[in-house]
Structure 1
């Protein structure tokens, strides 16, 4: 075959590399076509097979510009004269992107070539084998070594030893070579016409590098000069410089006047701290906690203040940071773990396991504030019915008038202790202010009988009424539909409510089978569900479980029925100050429960959150007003809620990263004013045709970074945990050091590379962040995709890379691909 046309823009070495790869690709394409024709031989006549072979042989005398046409003719002949079988292995091979890397090995003075692709293909028609990067053991050499390295690898039962003399990454699109990346630089075809591909240039002399900013000095930081706040005050953004670390910063060294006002705001009431990602919300909230404890140490004691954070990683880390702020003995907790412990202690009969696949409609309904009103109504109805019971059953017994007076005198007492106190008063064991003791022994006995019939668990297990009321409205279909339509009209359709009811019945059945349900539940619920259980709901392999959302519902209801929650020592559980981080992912029910655990009518709560970072499913509120508007104090009044002016300066991310974050969140952002303090490296977007090529790229850049900056922290993020696990499995083949897969917030806060899904990283930051799945199929234009990607992007302090296979997400269009 004639030599490929020379390219005047390349040096002799570069032209040699280009020609070698073009020739190799041509031979591979010929081989794959012949393999396809041979595989279809039973459906192709000898004449047609001879014609295909003749065309292949003619390529040796074909002009370079005519080669694509001859190849196309061969392909048409194979397809035309064979029955296309989609399950056939040969034609299942991706001929548009047959491979993405080329290596040459020298072993025992013998050289051999290998191509790395997404499938194995071994055929004498090919110039060299194509091996699957995921499964072929020999592909480890490509991922673990650089060109010129000597290697020793155990492949199967034998040991391979040799030298990697050539290592090139390739971009092939539609069967055409578009880019070559090797130690000599990056060659790329810059042709703009689709039919012409010969404008090759050296576009880079080096591969991209991650820069964590650890070698930057304060003199290299370039913050905007000033910004003017809404109150007209001008703040100098050069006041603090930037501390290059990834830990909670000492705001006392960075504080501006607006932040100081937040920290020193009135100690009582509910204070809402808002601001964009990296604006210091969590740090300001913690400093506010420290300020309150130092101002009134006898009131805000370590055992009576509670910082609540999103995940265990931040809780563990915060427990080590708080002492530096002068806070000793205060234990940060995660909401779910803390609440789960309370619920299990108060209602031990219920399961301790939680469902992992709770449907979205169930989550949304169980987080809806309608339950606050329903539970209050239901308890009021039961309270009224008990008075009516006394009037009916005890009408002919002496002492009814004084008994009703005693009952009415306890109107501020929760229902169950009210009943217990009435029973004790009738026996002379309790006193009720302003009511004389009961002197009728007959009334005492008749009252005890009436209570025993109406509420047999009153004295021994009164908390079981909580489970019964909670269960009734979820499992009773008619009651559920009527309640939701009345208290949240139009928000849930019939299909959604049917799904919620089915799920509730399914969980009830499992509790019944596990004998973790009590007799009182069986009496009220069995008749409602006995015809519902069928083969579709026979989940014998599942464990009895609750939904995480149930804990909040149960404890709210428990308080309404039995009064304040108690500590293990029997004393009321009460916090003088609560700090809730990532408050945007909580709702009315959680806020009400937290406020109920502060001193009556004198709450002290700090909420820190950013509505742009809402990523937890099942949150229907759009504004803080909606989620906080349902709060009620014990006397029925509304608490004092102060929404402070949003923090407007972002200390974490560079101007370049924040610009991308603003583009991602778009017009949905609540942070209309948000400034960075410094400039940094540009945000880069890298596209790949194959995931294996992306893994190789990541391996090279991360190895380089670990050598240059061994103290760097890098997060490689995906949307789902499943995607993170697949990516981690690929990176493990590369022999990267300090590579960790994070499944459940087990961050170590030490240098290294952590692969996880975005949700795990809320509230954290890293030197560099790589979003590894920024493609259109993963992140659409919907609000949840925007908020998830926004959270991922804003975890980066110094550098951000966006990687995608296939089409890029529309949320990142406009950023130059590489």
Structure 2
């Protein structure tokens, strides 16, 4: 697929807007023809069997789905007018080229592109070109749409006497697209990607990235667009190795799940860390202290010791009988073979596979010394000999990861032996079950226990690695969870997204270098996004008053958007009047276009649900898709992270802080809630505002 070619010239004698509409119509017709061509494919004579036919038909169905034309989604959102023909075209002496930039590639019947994929190299200047570095661009044109209809355009001249000065007037259409009210799940930001965001999106596949991003800087969208870009630039490689997006909870994943399909990527798996380690059914919960200890990186060494705790050094020789001959490997040699494997610190399962081959090799050496000429088939047969298998089973007994963790958490003596010098007596007592389970299925496993089982499984057998993993809201992962994620990209790369100021777990990350070490990517590049595009300046400045307490090392975020009146703080004199004031604020917010989120402490959610029902205001829960009819979502503060709403009503900030085990965590939870609004934030409170916000 070519990355660039001359676009069709607009029809002469028509106004610029009519010309652009004509190009849009031609592009839509071409896309429809592309889809019809795929639908008409006949594969009846090109496959050898039904399996190949099913695979090929599945690929065709996916292609048809990817070529769908959604009437309310513009095929292109920008245009680049080059001064000279880029790439190979320049060698032909062609003058300037014009390219329409969109979410997908569209070509005409002759194969000439009408729309260029935003990920193609020729599209890059749309995001990075400036007066200072025009990148051979004469004009950058942005398009405005109402629904799917092209209604406006805006030109930015980057070269020549009429070029705008750097830091000139911001694009009205760009601003309007950023501020466009949202209903439903998260949408792509492909039309509004900024230069610093584009650098992260287009970073190479070989290196890992960590993005520290303040609220509203678009770090989640940047991570998703990075996946789409990598799949475009390295499709064949990633088709073999796979990609994965990891989010903090199912509500968050539901919120972002339409972004990649909108960009034409349908095969990217999305999961939570709990999904990755779901080896047992989670039915129990831990205290904050127990969860913190189980999530500590020291538990990896405890588990490594536990996995190897059953190793027994051979004390008897191994005697292999083949025909009339007996071959003897003495105990000291068996011990040497075993210790050699253990000293290499390979996985337990790999050692169990290697030991019989080592013993068989020792037997073959004796055969050769006796004048025989055994081959590999003989070695494999000796490795399967009952005497050899018995030695291996006794020296390296099978390990069931779940049963091992069950014993570790149930048997105080076993835990003490494996945790000696690593965990204190108090820490051991904190993670021991008060009521030991009778078996794996009857145990009330916690989420942290499942991560321990996953670690033990990897100690036994290597976890398959993917080509690229994106992990969002990473600041809330424990060291052991980082290790679980790192196993999934051990031979690939990772994009870590997060904000240290939004860490709300007892084990929240204190620094990104520390987190990257646990992830197994200590050399990952750390980038910081501080310029906000979604949250208005007034709101982010107010929330940033908490930073000196919750994240002293972080610089306050800035915002390119001003929205006078975006922040509305009202005190309610009587606690009894608070519910009515909150419901009234929701009504005021619903008078505007767009989504509305009512965020409250978890303990207040049911009270507010009853108040909304009594007032006749329908509402949704996080994860349920908003619509034009129901635009209000009631959000527990613990589920607000990563979500955005056009308008947010924040109920009783002090209750959010009080709902956490300590003040710092509570203030971080409040910081998250304060930064979910795109257009307006209304705070209603009866209690005194937390320190710094008064």
TM-score normalised to structure 2 length: 0.64
Alpha-carbon offset, residue 290 of structure 1: 1.1
| Alignment match, 1:545 | 444
> Separation in 1 of the partners of 2:478 and 2:287?
18
Structure 1 match to 2:179: 243
| Contact map agreement 1:304 1:575 (CA 8 A) in 2 | yes
Which residue of structure 1 lines up, in the alignment, with residue 499 of structure 2?
Answer: 610
Post-superposition offset of 1:424: 7.1
Aligned partner of 1:676 among 542, 553, 559? 559
SS at match of 1:712: coil
- Which of 340, 347, 352 pairs up with 1:414? 347
Structure 2 CA distance for partners of 1:269 and 1:409, relative to 1, 3 Å: farther
Partner of 2:156: none
1:478 deviates by 4.8
Instruction: Please tell me whether the aligned partners of residues 648 and 677 of structure 2 are also in contact (alpha carbons under 8 angstroms).
Output: yes
CA distance in 2, matches of 1:237, 1:307: 37
Query: What are the equivalent positions in structure 2 for 1:510-659 lying under 5 Å apart?
Result: 511-512=437-438, 515-516=439-440, 544-561=443-460, 563-565=461-463, 573-598=464-489, 602-615=491-504, 617-619=505-507, 621-632=509-520, 640-644=523-527, 646-659=528-541
Greater Cα offset, 665-674 or 281-290: 665-674
Counterpart of 1:197?
Answer: none
Deviation digits for residues 299-344 of structure 1 (CA, Å, limit 9, x no counterpart): 112971111112223322433221222312213222213431xx24
Q: Deviations over 1:398-419 (max 9, x none)?
A: 2237756765776575323432
2:545 is aligned with 1:663:
yes
- Aligned partner of 1:133 in structure 2 is none
- Of residues 445-454 and 587-596 in structure 1, the stretch that sits farther from structure 2 once superposed is 445-454
Structure 1 residues 356-367: aligned runs within 5 Å: 357-367=285-295
Is 2:255–2:643's contact at 8 Å kept on the other side of the alignment?
no
Within the alignment, does 1:698 sit opposite 2:582 as a pair? yes
Render the CA deviation track for 1:25-46: whole Å, top value 9, x for unaligned: xxxxxxxxxxxxxxxxxxxxxx
Is the 8 Å Cα contact of residues 302 and 327 (structure 1) preserved in structure 2? Answer: no
Would you say 1:729 and 2:610 are equivalent positions?
Answer: yes
Q: In the TM superposition, what whole-angstrom CA distance separates every residue of 1:373-394 from its partner, at most 9, and x where no partner exists?
A: 2333444565xx44xx22x122
Could you tell me whether the CA contact under 8 Å between 1:270 and 1:639 is conserved in 2?
no
In structure 2, the partner of 1:141 is none
Q: Report SS of the residue matched to 1:254.
A: coil
Aligned residues: CA RMSD: 3.7
In the TM superposition, what is the alpha-carbon distance from 1:767 to its structure 2 partner?
1.3
DSSP-derived class of the 1:629 partner: helix
Tell me, what secondary structure is at the counterpart of 1:754? strand
1:280–1:741 Cα change, 3 Å: closer
8 Å contact kept, 1:276–1:671: no
2:620 counterpart (735, 740, 748):
740
1:398 to 328, 334, 349: 328
Deviations 1:641-663 (A, max 9, x none): 2112x111111211111111101
CA distance in 1, matches of 2:569, 2:282: 42
Q: Are residue 374 (structure 1) and residue 302 (structure 2) matched?
A: yes
Distance in 2 separating the partners of 1:589 and 1:797: 34
The 5 Å alignment of 1:57-68 reads none
* Counterpart-to-counterpart distance in 2, 1:703 and 1:431: 84
Matched, 1:321 2:259: yes
Could you say if the C-alpha distance between residues 652 and 752 of structure 1 is closer, same or farther in structure 2, counting changes exceeding 3 Å?
same
DSSP-derived class of the 2:408 partner: helix
Distance in 2, matches of 1:299 and 1:442, equals 37
Pairing of 1:281-320 with structure 2 (within 5 A): 281-301=219-239, 304-320=242-258
TM-aligned CA distance change 1:302 to 1:403, over 3 Å: closer
Counterpart of 2:258 in 1: which secondary structure? Answer: helix
After superposition, what is the alpha-carbon deviation per residue over 1:40-86, rounded to whole angstroms, capped at 9, x for unaligned?
xxxxxxxxxxxxxxxxxxxxxxxxxxxxxxxxxxxxxxxxxxxxxxx
Deviations 1:141-197 (Å, cap 9, x if unpaired)?
Answer: xxxxxxxxxxxxxxxxxxxxxxxxxxxxxxxxxxxxxxxxxxxxxxxxxxxxxxxxx
Deviation at 1:718, TM superposition (A): 1.5
CA contact (8 A) 1:661 1:790 kept: yes
CA contact (8 A) 1:771 1:792 kept: yes
Partner of 2:277, secondary structure, is helix
Question: Is 1:795 aligned to 2:676, yes or no?
Answer: yes
2:649–2:683 contact (8 Å) kept in structure 1:
yes
From 275, 299, 318, the counterpart of 2:213: 275
Which of 569, 578, 591 is equivalent to 1:685? 569
- 1:753 maps to what in 2? 632
In structure 1, how many angstroms separate the alpha carbons of the residues matched to 2:656 and 2:186? 35
8 Å CA contact 1:724–1:757 kept in 2: the answer is yes
- The equivalent residue for 1:173 is none
Contact 1:406 1:422 in 2 (8 A): yes
Q: Secondary structure at the match of 2:283?
A: coil
Q: Distance in 1 between matches of 2:669 and 2:546?
A: 10
Contact 1:303 1:329 in 2 (8 A): no
Contact 2:188 2:259 in 1 (8 A): no
Deviation at 1:280, TM superposition (A): 0.7
For 1:220, the equivalent position in structure 2 comes to: none
Q: CA 1:412–1:498 in 2, change beyond 3 Å: closer, same or farther?
A: closer
Alignment of 1:755-770 (within 5 A): 755-770=634-649
The 1:315–1:728 alpha-carbon spacing in structure 2 relative to 1, beyond 3 Å, is: same
1:440 positional shift = 11
Structure 2: runs of 5 or more not aligned: 1-145, 147-165, 320-326, 366-373
1:587-618 deviation per Cα after TM superposition (whole angstroms, max 9, x unaligned): 322222222223x5x32111110011112x33
Alpha carbons of structure 1 residues 439 and 474: separation in structure 2 relative to 1, 3 Å: closer
Q: How far is 1:621 from its partner? A: 3.8
Corresponding residue for 1:469?
404
